[in-house]
Amino acid sequence: MDNLTEQFPGPGGPLAGGDAFQVAFYALVSMLVIVGLAHLASRMLHNRRLGDWAKEEFLQVLVSAALVGGLVALMAPDNGIIIKAFQSLVPANAMTIELPAGVSIPISQCEQFGIAPGSIICYAFDYIGQVQNQILIIIASLFGINMVLDIISKISVDIIVVQITPLSGLSAFVQVFNSMIQTLTFLEIMTVVEKSLLAFANATALSVFLPIGIVLRCFFATRRIGGALIAIAVGAYLIFPLCIALNGVAVQHAKADAYEPITNATAQIAALTPYGSQFNQNGTLNPDTTRSYMDKVTGAASSIVGAVQAIPNAVATFIGTMIVEVVILPVVALMITMIAIKELAGVFGGEVNLSKFEV
């Protein structure tokens, strides 16, 4: 049991981590003594039904104990069967997502959120975190491009009674980029939702659902609800994160293409931003400053249009990939988790009858 408590340190609280397995141990031992007392009572009172109940409960205690040991062997974050199998199947760098050159972000945020490093939840959490970073980088780049494009597209020249806005065509790009930023923001929110779900599973599966489930499973009247809680714990801690992590392995190679046109456009537009040093030094209202800025804009107009034209297609491809990755696949993962919980609840909460070899 000491090993069990070390394997599941968990967050604080009366039912935290290893304490929870202690409760399960206490419940199982208590149930064994109650079984013994019931058996003695059945012999004293010649009550055959009570005797049968005692024998059945004895078997169920052994099954519950085996379940506890099996679940620990299966779900332990450091050396559990599932994490070992996952690590042997997935290469170490398979989850690393390509980011633009010069962008540096912390790879793992697991410890920051109290998730055991190296666990399945940590793999899934880091994967979603990297996807979120990708989306944020694209949003930030599009914001920068859009801001400058909006200003440039509204520059107009008054010639007596005629007002000419030579780059007004760029406003079409501004509108497209606005809607793309909105979609990307929605996707970013979805990644936050998924990270919150994973953090919730990490905080509650082993320290709340699993121990309460094991304790309830020890007793005759609450066996089904106990099995359901154990199934929820297994689904939340194992199956959902495993599906998310495997999604990351499956679709990770389809994303880096969006960076190149955005990087090109950002490089060209960066020189045209009106918030640069020349305006600060010379003053915005200085005619010479404004004229030199106008000259730069008009001179670079054709190359800006060329650079910006490549962005919508690249970002649309990126958004499409992200919708699959951040919306559709997690929904499928949730569906798989729900189905698994439903099936496992029957297995964990059912009576085990060894004489007929049926569960």
Partner 1 sequence: MKRLTALFTIMLFAVLFAQSGNSGDGSNALNLEKPAETQCGTSGNFVDFSCNIMKALLKLGPIVAVIALIAGGAIYIYAQMFVTADQRGRYQSLAVNLVVGALLLAALVGGAGLLVSSGMKFLSAG
Structure tokens given for 249: 């392995």
- The full DSSP string for 91-156 is -TTTTPPP--TT----S--TGGGTPPTTSHHHHHHHHHHHHHHHHHHHHHHHHHHHHHHHHHHT--
* Options 27-35, 147-155, 257-265, 347-355: segment touching partner 1 (CB under 8 A): 27-35
Cα diameter, the chain:
114
Minimum CB distance to partner 1, residue 142 (Å) = 51
- Closer to partner 1 at the Cβ: 2 or 158? 2
Residues recorded for the chain: 359
**Rg (the chain; Cα; Å):** 30
Interface of this chain with partner 1, residues 186 to 205, rule: CB under 8 A: none
Q: Tell me the site size for partner 1, rule CB under 8 A.
A: 42
- At 224 the three-state DSSP class reads helix
Minimum CB distance to partner 1, residue 358 (Å) = 18
Interface of this chain with partner 1, residues 211 to 240, rule: CB under 8 A: 215
Query: What is the distance in angstroms between the CA of the first residue and the CA of the last residue of the chain?
Result: 27
- Closer to partner 1 at the Cβ: 70 or 320? 70
Minimum CB distance to partner 1, residue 234 (Å) = 13
Interface of this chain with partner 1, residues 53 to 112, rule: CB under 8 A: 58, 61-70, 72-73, 81
14 is a site residue for partner 1 (CB under 8 A):
yes
29 is a site residue for partner 1 (CB under 8 A):
yes
Name, in order, each residue with C-beta under 8 angstroms of 277's C-beta and a sequence gap of 6 or more: none
b/e per residue 130-151 (b: at least 16 CB within 10 A): bbbbbbebbbebbebbbbbbbb
Minimum CB distance to partner 1, residue 36 (Å) = 4
How many distinct helices (H) and strands (E) make up the chain?
13, 2
Minimum CB distance to partner 1, residue 63 (Å) = 8
Cα–Cα distance between 42 and 214 in angstroms, integer? 27
Please name the helix (run of DSSP H) or strand (run of DSSP E) that holds residue 162, with its range, or none: strand 162-164
Binding residue for partner 1, selected from 6, 11, 40, 193, defined by CB under 8 A: 40
* Options 44-52, 135-143, 252-260, 307-315: segment touching partner 1 (CB under 8 A): 44-52
Beta bridge partners of 164: 157
Binding residue for partner 1, selected from 37, 89, 250, 271, defined by CB under 8 A: 37
Residue 162, number of CB atoms within 10 A of its CB: 7
Structure tokens given for 203: 């905080």
- Closer to partner 1 at the Cβ: 13 or 306? 13
- Closer to partner 1 at the Cβ: 231 or 333? 231
- Closer to partner 1 at the Cβ: 51 or 144? 51
- Closer to partner 1 at the Cβ: 27 or 121? 27
- Closer to partner 1 at the Cβ: 139 or 233? 233
284 contacts 338 by C-beta, under 8 angstroms: no
Minimum CB distance to partner 1, residue 312 (Å) = 54
158 DSSP 8-state letter = E
Minimum CB distance to partner 1, residue 120 (Å) = 18
Cα–Cα distance between 148 and 337 in angstroms, integer? 46
Could you give phi then psi for residue 235, rounded to 5 degrees?
-65, -45
- Closer to partner 1 at the Cβ: 225 or 314? 225
Binding residue for partner 1, selected from 10, 27, 148, 344, defined by CB under 8 A: 27
342 is a site residue for partner 1 (CB under 8 A):
no
Minimum CB distance to partner 1, residue 39 (Å) = 6
Q: Which residues make up the interface to partner 1 (CB under 8 A)?
A: 1-2, 14-15, 19, 22-23, 25-30, 32-37, 39-46, 58, 61-70, 72-73, 81, 215
